[in-house]
Chain A
Amino acid sequence: MGLEIYNSTVQAAVNWARKFSLFQYPFVTACCGMEFMSTAAPKYDLARFGAEFPRFSPRQADLLVIVGTVTERQAPALRRIYDQMCEPKWVIAFGVCASTGGFYQNYSTVPGCDQIIPVDVYIPGCPPRPEQVLDALVLLQERIQRGEGHSQITLKAEAGHDVPLTAIRPRDPKPTGEAAPPARPAKP
Chain B
Amino acid sequence: MAQIILDRLVAQFQSGEIEQIGSQHGNEWARVRRDAWRTVAAFLRDDPTTDMKMPIDLTAVDRLTRAPRFDVVLHLYSVTKKHRVRLYAGVPEDDCALDSLVSVWPGLDWFEREAYDLYGVRFKGHPDLRRILMYPEFVGHPLRKDYPKEKRQPLIRRSGLPGTPE
Least Cβ–Cβ distance between B119 and chain A, in angstroms: 13
| Known pairs A107-B151, A108-B134, A115-B161; A76 contacts B142 (CB<8 A) | no
Interface residue B135 (Cβ < 8 Å from any Cβ of A) = yes
A140 at the interface (CB under 8 A from B): no
A108 to B147, CA, bound (A): 13
Write out, one digit per residue, whether chain B residues 135-166 have a CB within 8 A of any chain A CB (1) or not (0). Answer: 10000001000010111111111100100000
How many A-B contacts are there with CB distance less than 8 Å? 40
Interchain CB contact under 8 A, B158 and A115: yes
**Closest chain B CB from A65 CB (angstroms):** 19
Which residue of chain B lies nearest to A80 when distances are taken between CB atoms in the complex? B156
Measured CA separation A72–B86 after assembly (Å): 34
Query: Quick check: A72 and B158 within 8 Å, CB to CB?
Result: no
- Does A110 sit within 8 A of B, measured CB to CB? yes
In the complex, A118 has a CB within 8 A of chain B: yes
Query: At the interface, is chain B mostly helix, strand, loop or mixed?
Result: loop
Residues in chain B near residue A116, CB distance under 8 A: 156-158
Is there an interface contact between A115 and B135, defined as CB atoms closer than 8 Å?
no
Chain B interface size, as a band, is: 10 to 19
List A59-105 residues whose CB lies under 8 Å from chain B: 72-73, 75-76, 79, 105
Q: Which chain B residues border A115 with CB–CB below 8 Å?
A: 154, 157-158, 161
Asked, given contacts A72-B135, A73-B134, A73-B135, whether A110 binds B154 with beta carbons under 8 Å apart, the answer is yes
Interface residues of A (CB under 8 A from B): 72-73, 75-76, 79, 105-108, 110-111, 114-118
Q: List 30 A-B contacts (CB under 8 A).
A: A72-B135, A72-B153, A72-B155, A73-B135, A75-B155, A75-B156, A76-B155, A76-B156, A79-B156, A105-B150, A106-B142, A106-B149, A107-B142, A107-B147, A107-B151, A107-B153, A108-B133, A108-B134, A108-B142, A110-B154, A111-B152, A114-B158, A114-B161, A115-B157, A115-B158, A115-B161, A116-B157, A116-B158, A117-B158, A118-B158
